[in-house]
Amino acid sequence: MQSLEDFMREFFRERTATYQKELEILAPFRRRFYTEDCRRANRASKLMEVMEESKSEEIVRVSGCETAGEAITVQTSRTGESHRQRYHLQAEGGRWLIQEIEAECFSCRGENGNRDCSDCKGTGWFLGNRLSQPSFSWPRRNTSTSPRQRRF
């Protein structure tokens, strides 16, 4: 089976390529119906930002076993600010699949154990991604077993 690091690198490449294709599809539509300075048509601008952030994402750490894994990554925004994400992965059918993505708490910056943090309640992470991805919304999942409860 592919290593966790190789899987994540492939994911980064393919995600960025998908954003690029979406931009190419949107371009003729935008030119046909909007002026260049129309704010309502800013989806393409947001998508370009997300694509650049996608290109910048790097693996900080991976850990796991044969059936489950975790990858911590860092992305740099257009403003130069770094944002960490934690991917929870599971092995299925001889390949890795992303089960969940958590974003580092932007209030306490992932300071685990800070129970006073009103956003993460001391976990250092929260579900979702504050750098919202315009072309994708995560489906609701069964939260009866939190990835934080798993041991590697």
Which residues does 110 contact at the CB level (< 8 Å), separation at least 6? 84, 104, 124, 125
- Tokens 């750490």 locate to 61
Determine the pLDDT at residue 21. Answer: 92
Residue 7 banded pLDDT, cuts 50, 70, 90 = very high
pLDDT in tens, 32-45: 988 878 776 667 77
Percent of the chain exceeding pLDDT 90 equals 39
Q: How far is CA 90 from the centre of its chain?
A: 16
Residue 128 banded pLDDT, cuts 50, 70, 90 = low
Determine the pLDDT at residue 86. Answer: 94
State yes or no: pLDDT of 132 exceeds 50: no
pLDDT in tens, 69-119: 999 999 988 888 888 999 999 999 999 999 999 988 877 776 666 677 877
Determine the pLDDT at residue 95. Answer: 95
Determine the pLDDT at residue 110. Answer: 64
SS3 call for 68: strand
Domains of the chain: which residue ranges? 4-149
Burial pattern 112-124, b for ≥16 Cβ within 10 A else e, equals: eebeebeebeebb
Determine the pLDDT at residue 111. Answer: 66
Percent of the chain exceeding pLDDT 70 equals 78
Distance CA 35, CA 124 (A): 43
Determine the pLDDT at residue 122. Answer: 78
Report the chain's mean pLDDT, rounded to a whole number: 80
Residue 131 banded pLDDT, cuts 50, 70, 90 = very low
Distance CA 101, CA 87 (A): 5
